[in-house]
Structure 1
Amino acid sequence: MNRPNVLFAARPDRWDETRGPLEAALAEAGVAADLATDHAPDTVDYIVYAPNGPLQDFSPFTRCKAVLNLWAGVEDVVDNPTLTMPLARMVDPGLTEGMVEYVTAHVLRHHLNIDADITRKPGDWTPVTPPLARDRKVTVLGLGALGSACARALAGLNFDVAGWSRSPKDLPGITCFHGDEGLADALARSHICVALLPLTPATEDLLDADRLARLPEGAVVINPGRGALVVEDALLAALDEGRVSHATMDVFRTEPLSKEHPFWHHPRVTVTPHIASVSRPESCAKVIAENIRRGEAGEPFLHLVDRQAGY
């Protein structure tokens, strides 16, 4: 087996924390590779990539077999006309576990109205009994790897869970909707709506004023998916009118979120700084290493992006 050259082309500040885990994962996979940040382009066999890194022109990488994305999202690179080699997105157990923990925590927070107890004043002994999970309808928009895992976890807590996807899906214990008509039905039954769709031309601005108006009065929106899934002005208007009671937002159209942005200052918006599902070097390195092993063995790559679908 040849010794492939692997170029690390994410942000330079990620190199030190990623290098050790990636070298260890490659060794565990039985791949002897030269991992560096400065390989000459025409000698590179694989590119370990993040869209916020310095590399934008892939045309000099004439022998590159695959670009291996460190992120689950590929919307910032999938339409790059110079990227003609296979592109793999990150599907990693660590990403999935992180997302499940985030979504479960915030669904439970809103389900139990924990904020009211955190801000309770001394002497305020006004018990409010929440419904049981089986009486709380949660809808997950997006039933890919992350959305399906979150839907199953919430169903395991006995929530009444539905999911929506563009194409038909079948998940045991989950009421599945699809297509435009299915989206209207899914939103109409959502006491808590979790947005976990990839960002594509078909999903951008999905939660606009009309669709937000389909949610039940007082619904909660949780968006750990992609910032551009939600029309921000429409969400703020729905919050001001009380149609949406709270929005927990982890992703935004522009990041970091400007300190002047209305989300920071709205009393019914929680901002978290894109922490729901983060590529952790120890777990994502194993996915990268396995794809390099596959490429060297002539086996199909995992998690290849469908350029037409956009993810």
Structure 2
Amino acid sequence: MTRVALLSRSADLDFLRPLLLAQDASLDIATWPDPRCLQAEVAVCWQTPPGLYAQMPHLRLVHSIAAGVDNVVAGQDLRGLPVCRVVDPLLAQGMLQYVLWGVLHFHRHFDRALANQRRAHWQRHAQTPASGCRVGLMGLGELGGLVAQRLAAMGYAVGGWSRTPRSLAGVQTFSGAEGRQPFLARTDVLVCLLPLTDATRGILGAECFAALPAGAALVHCGRGEHLVPDDLLAALDSGHLRGAVLDVFETEPLPAEHALWRAPGVVVTPHMASMAGFDVVVRQIADNVARLRAGRPLQHQVDSTQGY
């Protein structure tokens, strides 16, 4: 019998218990803060309480319930433990829909129409073809690469930036520190789909915004810690940036008193861009538990040297 701990400091993950037992009735499942969690072999996590793994001497696997793992490894003693994430093909479809909506919000001037509506002001803006809107994707992994190519197929002038060189049909690609400035300089709508690493934390800050053309906009659905909110607010206040669609935040839910809720030109959404179906989540967790027992290679294991 394998004990599985459902760990989160911000959500009650006990709803996963019957779903996991339906996959493997032999599992012994405990939900934090049940002290039995400390004896678990498998941790199933979302925003793990700080320092918890160091108190779990029998832990053999850390498994995120999402595509990202940053919030299950930050501030933890992993001591070489394998970390796995969830990969759902439908995540890419949901992300494409969200990013397309964000791009259209600025390309088709919906942001200006909504602002004019509040003033009862009738104004039609010139309609430009998709080829006249330069979209830039930061992050060309599984999600970013697919979104970039789909937007290019819709006629947008798409560029992409990644840590290491990538080649994608229909996409002008840039890479590394030397490629970031020219990438930003050709971008009207910047889309962030980066993983969170030490190198990408705070990447959406004053230096990034200053390198964008005047009147550029941001669609952010990467990780909350990528964004420096005060720098974004300053770029909006100065008029250098036109607006932003924001789906992720360092603290979630975004506190009611936060200035981003009321900043002109900003759309706040509640971390809804895309999410894995829970049927996929529990199948992949149960499969990896079975693989762990049998000593077989795990699926969707994170490269600890890269953080994704």
Q: Same fold (TM over 0.5)?
A: yes
Tell me which of 255, 258, 278 is aligned to 1:281. Answer: 278
Closer, same or farther in 2 for the Cα pair 1:12/1:219, shift >3 Å? Answer: closer
Alignment match, 2:92: 96
Q: Unpaired runs of 5+ in structure 1? A: none
Deviations 1:154-200 (A, max 9, x none): 22322111111111122222221111111111111111000111222
Alignment match, 2:257: 260
Report how far residue 109 of structure 1 moved: 1.9
1:150 aligns with 2:150: no
Instruction: Write the distance in 1 (CA, Å) between the matches of 2:63 and 2:21.
Output: 15
Q: Secondary structure at the match of 2:73?
A: coil
How many corresponding residue pairs? 303
Identity %: 38
Report how far residue 32 of structure 1 moved: 5.0
Q: Structure 2 matches for 1:193-212, cutoff 5 A?
A: 193-212=190-209
Deviations 1:49-87 (A, max 9, x none): 2224x5742245444331111133322342545322211
What is the RMSD computed on CA atoms of the aligned residues?
2.6
Instruction: Write the distance in 1 (CA, Å) between the matches of 2:11 and 2:114.
Output: 40
Q: Unpaired runs of 5+ in structure 2? A: none
Q: Secondary structure at the match of 2:12?
A: helix
Alignment match, 2:13: 14
Q: Structure 2 matches for 1:100-249, cutoff 5 A?
A: 100-118=96-114, 126-249=123-246
Instruction: Write the distance in 2 (CA, Å) between the matches of 1:262 and 1:134.
Output: 34
**Preserved CA contact (<8 Å) 2:111 2:265:** no
Report how far residue 274 of structure 1 moved: 1.6
Q: Secondary structure at the match of 2:236?
A: helix
Instruction: Write the distance in 2 (CA, Å) between the matches of 1:296 and 1:172.
Output: 42
Q: Residue type of the partner of 1:50?
A: W
Report how far residue 137 of structure 1 moved: 1.0
1:272 aligns with 2:269: yes
TM-score (norm 2): 0.87
Deviations 1:13-50 (A, max 9, x none): 3322x2343334x35xxx85444436845763322122
TM-score (norm 1): 0.86
Q: Secondary structure at the match of 1:76?
A: helix
Closer, same or farther in 2 for the Cα pair 1:117/1:46, shift >3 Å? Answer: same
Instruction: Write the distance in 2 (CA, Å) between the matches of 1:156 and 1:294.
Output: 39
Alignment match, 2:2: 4
Q: Secondary structure at the match of 2:199?
A: coil
